[in-house]
Chains A and B, each alone.
Chain A
């Protein structure tokens, strides 16, 4: 009997889900009834980022439509070709302060300008953080606001060898204006976050009321400007309280990855770290701890040195070489193909895992969006930003290569939200949403 049938059965009997355990005498049914409320398909979104633009001639398919050939960089997606959607012609049209890498990164998911600031890039005016929330957070907030789609974390932000610095080149997710969210690039820290010791958490839970009360008390003694900081802090304390309660209620976790111990978080371990983070990400989704995630490789202007591909130059430096430098074009192609292999590994892991409590695989209910802060590294263009989607989470019509004409990426961000039933009219800078949600995807 599937959950669906059981629900129909209960309906026919004229019984509510709450009464079910008594009727059927099944002790496990109480939790199944909760699942039943969430029975509508679980939709998930993963946004994967790799930096410094692509090599267009080895990336974009020449053909539009269903009949297209994958080029060298995208060739790892061959096994998933009919679940792949390639979107050429999406441009980040956000202007204002900050160099192209900064805006490419911090406006990528926010679709809104950066605050003036004093982080100076290689060109343009200096800038600060983004002025608004990012789409991953927007969607997660929407999902968290509804009982049926609420999860323990809502979102997870994982990184792979992200340099330890907080600046607009290094953050793409924002909780709101001036609220950058740091990705966690230490797999052991992620593991602790997901599966950390329950006993310690009970001790933490026991003191949080007092911490919150202290914060509330001292608020009165500080100026209104300083009060904001303490109020924010208090909100995080409450969030942790909820998180601990949610964790306690969570059923025994399945598919917990075993991490190899002592892997150093450095450039040379990037392939191993990537796999560890992807495994952790898949396990968090499997256990329904979150429905939205980001996976950030390095950062914009990232200087990864991919020695395991036989490349000794640093990535960002390579990306500045001109189009007629064949050596660097070849290396850039290799690097981007390596990122695509990580995407393919993630897609493969999801495809190999049956959807818990549902039908098909997890990939059928997850869409991975792979993107970049630039269209092309050597001219720093924000036009034709790489956007490749894999998987069925958003219900888009996959197995196509689309060639759109210079569409503002805000309209694509809107489409991501609409796919979750969150029908925003605008997102980010409203002027860049003219034309409304990008259609033709579903």
Chain B
């Protein structure tokens, strides 16, 4: 994002809108309609769309009604301004405003519709993962953390040399020349760690073992090690690593076999580099001694989903996308064939092997259709391929390929020949809540006719919403809302901010994610807590930089943080730092973020670019003074009247998010007056006031609801009726602003079952 937020002029209202609005009635033709048709339509078109050669541009815009009326009164019709004045001008203005001038008016006349969409990338990835999980089983993990460890007095994990079993919180051992414990020799021992890796966010993970000894590491795919470090790399410890793609909201079986044999010293660390983070020990909270079922992860790259409406959705197809669906299908076919016996629970040596495969694999593609095979599917998937061919494996290949390329898999809302039914409702609940296929319970409910009322839908949506896959979806919503998915460079000038290095930035991101996870997982999941919390997650590195105190155990602890001056996400140092320049704060970036994302205050696009630079300013000026000076022109003030006060209210935090009261030897002034859309003014004395205002503003809450709606349903909210957002807001208030409940209500509202 550039730093240029200049703006267009919005004139103060010369007339009061209430006066103008008083004569507007629903249903009846507006008195301005015939006047517009007579005096304006010839040049501007019947619905303001413009007339080629006369006045090309459409009469669409964001001026106030009063201003529109003033322009008509003073300048229209062109060169005959006296022909439409006074009451007539007001009536024409009203007609235009009500019918086509504003985006809302146009939306009313052509309401957004529910578009046919294909699976988005996360929906595709999760759907194929759960397709395979239908056969491999889904084993939820418990609250236990750490890894199951078994220690042996032998380098080959011999059962009779087992000396110790326990749960190790993480793998971080420096044995030196000694053995790990009693009854084990210094020169030869082995340890096996087993359990699963818990992954929050989808992406490429680098995983590595730092050791001078021998080891093998398996993740998810247990037949072949991800890293084979059997041959020691000594004498000094080195990091041997590999990259693996993992889906968020899932866990992956992990096994590390480590041994010492004649090496001088021994040490072992299990590390990773998650997306957006630096290399670090895999922390206890991401490890569990429970063993997950194998998971399938598609690695074929897809072109990014269309985000032109501000959220990713499956509204477009392209050749690259079509090719990607083929590559992904081929990838799955190959993997299926390689692991066919595991999937089908068949035995290659059995006399009736072909029959077994046929019996157990014929229904493999079934879950892709989110409904049981019916008369349309049967010939294509069951009777056809398996009847014709002697080669059963080829038939399995063909039917999986056909299923994954089928429009009924790729377009989850495609109508069936027989019309909409309960399976469509099940498919919607699953897709909206966890971006994937319906589970067995949902399919069963559909089969038994138990998805016909809102309450039934709600029960299932609530059940799904507490699954880690739904948490992952909420997590990606927060990443989008807080622009974490766009944050590329948080780094600061290291002369000015010593110690604000890559590790610290990585920890800050973890701190923010832990905070968001706490909200997502808490009973209350309170939106206001998100904005008003007075605590922060910090480890010793963060504590030192921000002047806090935590136990020096390397873990993150939730501790009080600036109760007077800080509040929730907006003052989290990661947010403040990412909304800053490398040397200084950026009240403009912060103000724009607060306006657009927190307060739901639309900003008009700036008509001209002004690059912010402190060159040329008196070096003694504070940031606030420079921004005020730079944006003082009336053309800028239309938006900066909104942006600047919001940004200034955060000036107590420097470019790394540290609290400050002094800038350039002057006291920081974080007091400002923020003007609302209706002209009222809110006095802000700092960040806390801003957060309190955001938490309690209905407009802000509606904005939050709409953004979550888009992320969940991937359709415009208005397509489900004009009052959709208002209805959801009522439910949100009733639930004490519970975000998880809001997700559930969004799913219920869009499930197209009759109201209770």
A186–B609 CB distance below 8 A? no
Q: Which residues of B contact A380 (CB under 8 A)?
A: 609
How far, in whole Å, are A264 and B303 apart by their CA atoms in the complex? Answer: 18
Contact of A225 with B by CB under 8 A: yes
How far, in whole Å, are A118 and B309 apart by their CA atoms in the complex? Answer: 6
Contact string against A for B residues 589-610, beta-carbon threshold 8 Å, 1 for contact and 0 otherwise: 0000000000000000111110
A264–B605 CB distance below 8 A? no
A122–B305 CB distance below 8 A? no
Q: Which residues of A contact B118 (CB under 8 A)?
A: 229
B323–A240 CB distance below 8 A? yes
The residue in chain A whose Cβ has the minimal distance to the Cβ of B314 is A229
Q: Which residues of B contact A203 (CB under 8 A)?
A: 330, 333, 397-398, 401
Contact of A179 with B by CB under 8 A: yes
Contact string against B for A residues 107-139, beta-carbon threshold 8 Å, 1 for contact and 0 otherwise: 000000000011111111110110000000000
B320–A233 CB distance below 8 A? no
Given known contacts A164-B304, A200-B330, A226-B115, what 19 new A-B pairs fall within 8 Å (CB)?
Answer: A118-B309, A122-B4, A122-B609, A123-B4, A124-B606, A124-B607, A167-B307, A180-B318, A182-B320, A184-B320, A200-B333, A203-B401, A207-B402, A218-B414, A221-B415, A221-B417, A229-B116, A233-B322, A380-B609
A240–B326 CB distance below 8 A? yes
Distance from A37 Cβ to chain B, minimum over Cβ atoms (Å): 27
A99–B308 CB distance below 8 A? no
Contact of A320 with B by CB under 8 A: yes
- Interface pick from B344-352, B405-413, B627-635, B719-727: B405-413
Given known A-B contacts A124-B605, A166-B306, A303-B489, A207 and B401 have beta carbons under 8 A apart = yes
In the assembled complex, 5 residue pairs joining A and B whose CB atoms fall closer than 8 Å, in A order, are A118-B310, A166-B308, A181-B319, A200-B333, A380-B609
A215–B407 CB distance below 8 A? yes
Q: Among B2, B303, B411, which residue has its beta carbon within 8 angstroms of that of A122?
A: B2
The residue in chain A whose Cβ has the minimal distance to the Cβ of B415 is A221
Contact of B502 with A by CB under 8 A: no
Distance from B133 Cβ to chain A, minimum over Cβ atoms (Å): 24
How far, in whole Å, are A206 and B307 apart by their CA atoms in the complex? Answer: 34
Contact of A189 with B by CB under 8 A: yes
The residue in chain A whose Cβ has the minimal distance to the Cβ of B401 is A207
Contact of A8 with B by CB under 8 A: no
A123–B401 CB distance below 8 A? no
Contact of A259 with B by CB under 8 A: no
A214–B327 CB distance below 8 A? no
Contact of A57 with B by CB under 8 A: no
The residue in chain A whose Cβ has the minimal distance to the Cβ of B416 is A221
B317–A233 CB distance below 8 A? yes
Number of residues of chain A lying within 8 A (CB) of chain B: 59
Contact of A165 with B by CB under 8 A: yes
Q: Which residues of A contact B397 (CB under 8 A)?
A: 203
Q: Which of A34-60 contact B (CB under 8 A)?
A: none
B1–A211 CB distance below 8 A? no
Distance from A270 Cβ to chain B, minimum over Cβ atoms (Å): 15
How far, in whole Å, are A121 and B326 apart by their CA atoms in the complex? Answer: 35
Given known A-B contacts A214-B408, A221-B417, A237-B322, A314 and B489 have beta carbons under 8 A apart = yes
Contact of A192 with B by CB under 8 A: yes
Count contacts between A and B, CB distance < 8 Å.
134
How far, in whole Å, are A166 and B312 apart by their CA atoms in the complex? Answer: 10
Contact of B359 with A by CB under 8 A: no
B310–A229 CB distance below 8 A? no
How far, in whole Å, are A129 and B408 apart by their CA atoms in the complex? Answer: 29
Q: Among A117, A129, A179, A211, which residue has its beta carbon within 8 angstroms of that of B402?
A: A211
Contact of A438 with B by CB under 8 A: no
Q: Which of A199-237 contact B (CB under 8 A)?
A: 200, 203-204, 206-208, 210-211, 214-215, 218, 221-223, 225-226, 229-230, 232-233, 236-237
Q: Which residues of B contact A314 (CB under 8 A)?
A: 489
How far, in whole Å, are A324 and B119 apart by their CA atoms in the complex? Answer: 51
Q: Which of A161-191 contact B (CB under 8 A)?
A: 164-167, 175, 179-182, 184, 186, 189
Contact of A239 with B by CB under 8 A: yes
How far, in whole Å, are A120 and B414 apart by their CA atoms in the complex? Answer: 33
Q: Which residues of B contact A210 (CB under 8 A)?
A: 380, 402
How far, in whole Å, are A193 and B327 apart by their CA atoms in the complex? Answer: 9
B401–A204 CB distance below 8 A? yes
Given known A-B contacts A124-B607, A218-B414, A320-B611, A232 and B116 have beta carbons under 8 A apart = no
Which of A117, A123, A206, A264 counts the most chain B CB atoms within 10 A? A123
B489–A122 CB distance below 8 A? no
How far, in whole Å, are A309 and B396 apart by their CA atoms in the complex? Answer: 52
B317–A229 CB distance below 8 A? yes
Q: Which of B156-174 contact A (CB under 8 A)?
A: none
A179–B318 CB distance below 8 A? yes
Distance from A292 Cβ to chain B, minimum over Cβ atoms (Å): 15
How far, in whole Å, are A186 and B406 apart by their CA atoms in the complex? Answer: 26
Q: Which of B380-408 contact A (CB under 8 A)?
A: 380, 397-398, 401-402, 405-408
How far, in whole Å, are A206 and B327 apart by their CA atoms in the complex? Answer: 15
Distance from B451 Cβ to chain A, minimum over Cβ atoms (Å): 21
Contact string against B for A residues 356-379, beta-carbon threshold 8 Å, 1 for contact and 0 otherwise: 000000000000000000000010
B308–A119 CB distance below 8 A? yes
Given known A-B contacts A182-B303, A210-B380, A236 and B319 have beta carbons under 8 A apart = yes
Given known A-B contacts A121-B2, A200-B334, A225 and B605 have beta carbons under 8 A apart = no
